[in-house]
Structure 1
């Protein structure tokens, strides 16, 4: 198939034509939300493959006519439906090759050249054979007043179910129904009122006058900004020891399911404060070999650290784990109660806090 040269020439000439004629009598805003109807004549140019094919009855280029009905959705977008009668004949013997076209299309008017628009849509063409085609084109519409305009448009019709590329050139007239909405009258300028005098007071003695002070009654020893609000600084500081009550089975470093509540609370805290860090300390009761208990306390500390990494996605750079064995007992002695109290995990958490800057 070959794209018609006449179609290309007209499509290229439409934007040039728009700059050579007088300005439109209406603006894009005047057309918004209005219905329009058009009548047109069209010079229709079948694909070269059609003019040389018996399957298409050797159809020849010829004139047609039609009408459109559309609606301006916005200043730039419009929708339309069209019906076209194609008065075609056979190039071979002059026999009838008439047809018709039904289509729906969207129109986009260029922001810098509102009289120029791009159009694209879907068509059902009944000429010798029934086919479906997409169209893409460019047009120019010139308004002489609020309602009447002339337009020129060039389109290419690309077959979907059959392989062809027809072209068409329209010349027509448009009528836009109704009138443009009247622009609201500008509101009168308010009468200037002299500002009331403002007493030059500084009630909280922070050095910022009350008329610009956004934070009244700031403490006398706080440094404030230009709006009278306390200036804060952030720093990393210890928030204290968090006692994790984890009881391990004898000779085990696996955290039992029933003992995970405090570990989960610690993980949730560290997720909430992403700049916090923690030191996990493992301890053991003074039963058995001290060196073994030291290794056992390290495994227990690492078990808690692994839970924070795997279950709460805490980065390993924020966690340290160390075992102290029996060297730091909480309760002295060898009683059953002392052993239970010393077999534990402790956590030291550091987080970012805000402190006021003092004068």
Structure 2
């Protein structure tokens, strides 16, 4: 009896040990079970209670119903002495049964642990040896069986079972009871329902930096409070000067103007841009190789919208001074026109001045010197 109590305790403890893949939808297939059995005999049998081992083989028709064959063998069961049988005597008892089992998978709310009901029929073959009789006495006793218990699947295949069977037998021999604890293995298939998906509560969209653009769409998180941002949550630079509006102390600076770290336009003092334009003799047309030099002046004027440029034309000493004066003016004005038409510089900021042959930078007595003197220069000064 102690073994059966221990088995029941193990059954209770194991109910916490198996996490299924989901609720069992169905089971089907063969299984086998070995049990520890304590048989308590009806008094009419005049036999002492005895422990034994039982074997069960069955088939699960589905998760609720099973059909099962059982076998138990009791060896040398002692008889109580009586007035009619002075010797103790022993009996060997083989018990066969065929049972139908119903597992109630709804009562406890799961299909891992379930109480069950059992009903069936069977037969005892009893062989009794008396010290004073020969040969041995052989009896057969048919019975109807009712049983209850609980069954637990500790894994997909292994299960344990504890229960009691009530055997209603011959009127002369009475009713027996089998208390048992069994360990079994299920060879069949288990089908699971997909576990119900637990939907996480939807969280409201979050705007951590408070710029009006939700975090999921914010490409520039952490913008300062009050900063003007675009549709992606990035700070806006309205005047395109490279300083964000919330940092710009001088908004609306002219496009291309050079600004400081506060977005304010940097004013240029009087400077001379190193523009190297050397013209051919008696020519004032702009040659392709001069364009990159003129571009230097255009870029400076874009960066400093408050600057005006004076383009100065010069000649060598060949020819009359009057002619050279006109030629130097044409050279200066050709650069002015090129800046306005090709680089978009406002002509109001440009002045062309000719100095003729009055300001040589090299010796007009040599060809090399005269080539250097046929030039145009740019002087730039803030307003």
TM-score, reference length from structure 1: 0.41
Q: Kindly indicate whether structure 1 or structure 2 has the higher relative contact order, using CA contacts under 8 Å at least 6 residues apart.
A: 1
TM-score, reference length from structure 2: 0.39
Q: Which has the larger radius of gyration?
A: 2
